[in-house]
Structure 1
């Protein structure tokens, strides 16, 4: 594992305190002041300052195996890890600019489980066979890589009288059974609600996991000898060969009509063919 100290973050140091915003939100609408009128430095709106007080830590178990037998070479790696931080990057914005621990939780790049496996297999060259058989079946090379990993962490927010804040967790499992999960409702939206104006929401930072990622890519190639000097290389590549739908991105605002819906997906199957003539 490792630890990092004095990382940069970029809070808005001209953000009104929560207590000021809360008191203002409880006034009758006609008496409420604008956010800019409540800012500590009058005449300015947002003021971003670079502070070096953020921290992070990363711990992991990493396993690796490789095996070679004849024409087959195989590798596999597995990582079980946790990356915690109070700022994943210097552009992170916090509701509490002077309390960097408020956003302490899984980093945006945290992936709990990552498994990767590769293989390369070569067919015999068939040098003692006939030219047609040797040319069509001999010396092919097939390789592939498979990857499976946990999803990205997300934070659920709510529109409140004091601005966009973390939502309240009101109970229940965050995740739906696989049979109830759809692209329009990927997680249990009933577990979250908007917090009252006089306090912060009680849900954690990045406490919700998005869909995982599963990808399989394959490549098939061979070099054909046309003459002693002229060679033709053929290659076929298939990315996301099984056309797995890898969803990503959530609507995480409880006030949004699409709250809980998947907003994007990764690319589908992509096959490309290529030939290169060398002489």
Structure 2
């Protein structure tokens, strides 16, 4: 049990660092260009490892189809939206919005996988959602650009939640590394036309760029994503609950590393998210 909890906490912490790395990276490169470089490199690394070390290849057409759907949902739409939203949204708020994923995953699991939602889950998720709304109040008051960013976040979170349920429903008979590698690479390819159309900044090859790229590629795309797939295989809803912890780590890291303010609304939102998580335990 301790091992499972430790794995979940590690995933939550690493997932929260992604927004910080993205904020640092966009100081030197267009967000979608950074996203594509990250996806193609990390996807290629995982594909090479799975092909030559694990000796695993995708031969079934249906597997290609399902992995392409995962790439579209988990990479192209989800991370494409997040990388675009980070231009107008704080890293702390982005991490807080990750808390919407467990709610959506539970709802989608109930509908697509016919999983019954318990009373505690309903109550806990409702409290978490209220906390999320309270924490966004200051941002909603700031500007229309932030409202657009929030809309992108909602779209991205919905896509990621659907991708998680789709993964559990189909249960591909392939290793996590192979699935993650191909979905990441394919998702990056899907994003190429959009990134090319909206490209507005040249790459500045400095410390910010390299630190962000290495962290997002190795730690997030390869390591954290594979932890997520292993959690999903055991129980989709239980795995999703670890996403509630990401905002807690996210606000702390944003304050320490980026100097972002933690408002009273954020504090209240965090308390409610923790309360909702406790009820769901």
TM-score (norm 2): 0.21
Choose between structure 1 and 2 for higher RCO, CA contacts under 8 A separated by at least 6 residues: 2
> Which structure has more helix as a fraction of its residues?
2
Q: When the two structures are superposed, what TM-score results if normalisation uses the length of structure 1?
A: 0.21
